[in-house]
Structure 1
Amino acid sequence: MKSSELLLDAFGRIRETVEATLAGLDRAALARRPSGTGNSIAWLVWHLSRVEDAQVASAAGLDQVWTSQGFAGRFGLPLAERDTGYGHSSSQVDSVQAPPELLLEYYDAVHRQTVAFVQTLTDDALDRVVDKRWDPPVTMGVRLVSTIADCLQHVGQAAYAKGLGPQGSD
């Protein structure tokens, strides 16, 4: 198995879990915050989508899907266009609301861009330094693995939150 195939499998697992988690949820279930202060499913899926979008686009030298494909305008969130959710306050978490179809459409668009890029990678390309601000500098391989790890954690949190309470459909 090539390294790129392994990465594609990992990113594919994120996509599968996003789809399964969003299935059958209405807007109220998406906005519900575990224990009243936890992150909502809508915020978690939006955030993991923004993280993958921003991290992969930056490392690949691509435009973010969020802006280049008009998702920022379609979501209409009261957040800065480049916001990915890091350090959000409780009110900012509450502000991230969207129907499940739009959340999945955005993640799918991000996933397509990620897949198209990862399919072009060679093993040597994974050693290219993409961020010199860290010690040691971050390589493409490390950036992609850290993105996968972050997104898997958040989609797992979303799936767990789905199981905590009553769901429904609009």
Structure 2
Amino acid sequence: MNSSAVLTDGFGRIKEEVHAVVDGLSADDLNARIDPGANSISWLVWHLTRVQDDHVADAAGSQQVWAAQGWDDRFGLALPALSIGYGHTPADVGKVRVDSGDLLLGYYDAAHERTLEYIGGLRDADFDRIVDERWSPPVTLGVRLVSVLGDDSQHVGQAAYVRGVLERR
């Protein structure tokens, strides 16, 4: 198995978990916060998707799916256009609200497909390319993609926890 195949499998697992967390939930549950400072499922899934979309687009030298496919307009959030959730205050988290899981899953699936398309075109040697020199050591493409996978895993796990809390209420 090569590096692209490993990452494709990893991102496929995230997709399964995102769908399992979102499917069947009402807008009230998607937007619920288990306390005033907590993240909602909507925010967690939006954020993990925004990070993936942002980082993959940067690595690929392409436009984010968020803007290119009009997801920014469909969500209509009262946030800066390219916000991805880093540094969000509880008030900012509350601005990420959806009317249905279809919107979240539509954007997630579009970003996921773009990710797989990009990863599928990579060779093992490509993963050593430096994509971010702001760090010491500089960040390679392989490290960046594994970082996104880890971030996605953390946030979908948090969303699953929130779903579990809501289901027990």
Extract unaligned runs of 5+ from structure 2. Answer: none
Post-superposition shift, 1:55?
A: 0.5
Q: Which residue of 1 aligns with 2:9?
A: 9
Amino acid at match of 1:9: D
Post-superposition shift, 1:34?
A: 1.9
Q: Which residue of 2 aligns with 1:149?
A: 150
Amino acid at match of 1:44: L
1:22 touches 1:100 (CA, 8 Å); kept in 2? yes
Post-superposition shift, 1:35?
A: 2.8
Post-superposition shift, 1:36?
A: 3.2
**Are 1:119 and 2:120 matched, yes or no?**
yes
Q: Which residue of 1 aligns with 2:24?
A: 24
Amino acid at match of 1:156: G
Q: Which residue of 1 aligns with 2:63?
A: 63
Q: Report SS of the residue matched to 1:57.
A: helix
Extract unaligned runs of 5+ from structure 1. Answer: none
**Aligned-residue CA RMSD in angstroms?**
1.0
Post-superposition shift, 1:138?
A: 0.4
2:4 touches 2:122 (CA, 8 Å); kept in 1? yes
- State the alpha-carbon separation in 2 of the partners of residues 37 and 131 from structure 1: 32
**Are 1:80 and 2:77 matched, yes or no?**
no
1:29 touches 1:166 (CA, 8 Å); kept in 2? no
Amino acid at match of 1:29: D
- State the alpha-carbon separation in 2 of the partners of residues 134 and 58 from structure 1: 16
* Structure ranking higher on relative contact order (CA contacts 8 Å, 6+ apart): 1
Seq. identity, % = 51
**Are 1:110 and 2:72 matched, yes or no?**
no
Paired residue total: 167
- State the alpha-carbon separation in 2 of the partners of residues 101 and 51 from structure 1: 19
Amino acid at match of 1:3: S
1:65 touches 1:71 (CA, 8 Å); kept in 2? yes
